[in-house]
Amino acid sequence: MKILFSLTYYSPYVSGLTLYVKRLAEKLAHKDINVNVLCMKHDKKLPSFEIINEVEIYRAQPLFKVSKGFFSIDWIWRSFSFVRKSEVVIVNLPQFEGIVPAFIARLLGKKLISVYHCEVVLPDGIINSIIQKFLEWSNKLTLFLSETVITYTEDFADNSKQLAGLKDKLIYIYPPISEPKVNKRVQNMIKNKIGIGQPFVIGVAARLAAEKGIQYLFEAIPDIIKNQKSKIKKNGIKIVIAGSMDPVGEENHRNKILSLAKKYKDLIIFLGEIEPENMGSFYSLLDVLVLPSVNSTEAFGMVQIEAMMMGVPVVVSDLPGVRVPVRKTKMGKTVPVGQSQKLASAIVEVLQSRYTFIRDRQLIEKEFSFKRTLDLYAGILGYKNKKI
């Protein structure tokens, strides 16, 4: 069997979407399954072709960039070449150029699956509004052409305009979540950056992108530190952020976040990007993980499951899909979107009674099992004998 994954960005770029595809592609790659990835050459330094963990990666040369997307003639001819050789095409949305392999797949009678990861909400402005309309049109057409549409949760699907009317095609599969592990060397490095003392450590695992809502956590700092609860007043807090400091298309927001952080420079630590396999070391040092996301560009938040597996409760925005892990496990709190005071109250509550929120790791692993995700994909692909 030959499978083609289509997406704009792939490793070494790190986002929830790229990690999803990378983990799934590498697990599916097998002596009986040839896995190809077609993506954009988002960085000129990257090779046009390479093999990583048995996955063949082909990067199309873009002509120019539009917002976070690209226009590429190379993408069109590569799409035809790889779709023609593939039995299954999996398009990962949102992706404007995904319509090209999707259309070719239907034209050639190939099995076409779309994975709808999230919705893009671009900043205000006439140009961004036009770009968003074209992206939504392209995604909608790709979804229409697809035999099967996969998304993470029914909660997200029920609140998505793009997925409306697709109930007969929809299948709900949790994203592939790897078991986090602790690297003592990395753990000690992070400890040294946090510094001496025993502060409560509030973690964020996110790049400096607008949809992540990090500014609301910063705005919550006064309400957290003025809290009269004895433990917090005695120990103090540190906010530790792990994620890309220079995400694509987020220059203005990045500058805004760094400017806001100056006011609390003694409390906020930017670690930059941590390799996915080392994130367990980061989670192991946290008292609470916070996901203050603001819109449907965040549709689940795999990092919160990884933190839960490490015994770390979470505080997340009450967004479709994002709230599902807390509802399933009761291992944290949900808060209204963009309300800093309520975010502060929830963080304080978790810090004060952290152990009441912790659940058995085996229960979390069972609910969000990577094996179950793979088994569901194997069923859809018609390949049930793969050794996992």
Alpha carbon distance 322, 300 (integer Å): 4
- 124: number of Cβ within 10 Å: 6
Please report the pLDDT score of residue 34 as a whole number.
95
- Secondary structure letter of residue 243 according to DSSP: S
Please report the pLDDT score of residue 209 as a whole number.
86
CA angle 105, 55, 282 (to 5 degrees): 120
Per-residue H/E/C for 102-157? HHHHHHCCCEEEEEECCCCCCCCCHHHHHHHHHHHHHHHHHHHHCCEEEECCHHHH
- Dihedral over alpha carbons 147, 151, 153, 156 (to 10 degrees): -110
Please report the pLDDT score of residue 196 as a whole number.
65
Alpha carbon distance 295, 342 (integer Å): 17
Please report the pLDDT score of residue 318 as a whole number.
97
Per-residue pLDDT in tens (0 to 9) along the chain, 388 residues: 999 999 999 999 989 999 999 999 999 997 679 999 999 999 999 999 999 999 999 999 999 888 778 889 999 999 999 999 999 999 999 999 999 999 999 999 999 999 999 998 877 788 888 888 999 999 999 999 999 999 999 999 999 999 999 999 999 999 999 999 999 999 999 999 988 677 899 999 998 988 899 999 999 999 998 866 667 766 789 999 999 888 777 778 888 899 999 999 989 999 999 999 999 999 999 999 999 999 988 999 999 999 999 999 999 999 999 999 999 999 999 999 999 999 999 999 999 999 999 999 999 999 999 999 999 999 999 876 555 4
How is residue 323 written in tokens? 């709230």
What is the reported pTM?
0.92
Please report the pLDDT score of residue 388 as a whole number.
46
Tell me, rounded to whole angstroms, the distance of Cα 53 from its chain centroid: 21
Please report the pLDDT score of residue 66 as a whole number.
80
Largest CA distance in the chain: 67
Determine the angle formed by the axes of helices 126-145 and 99-107, rounding to 10 degrees: 20
Is the Cβ–Cβ distance between 179 and 365 less than 8 Å? yes
Domains of the chain, CATH where assigned: 2-177+368-381 (3.40.50.2000), 184-367 (3.40.50.2000)
Please report the pLDDT score of residue 36 as a whole number.
98
Alpha carbon distance 204, 212 (integer Å): 9
Residue with tokens 């996969």: 150
- Going 310 to 210 to 12 to 375, the CA torsion angle's sign is positive
The residues with which 384 forms a beta bridge, in sequence order, are none
Determine the angle formed by the axes of helices 73-85 and 99-107, rounding to 10 degrees: 40
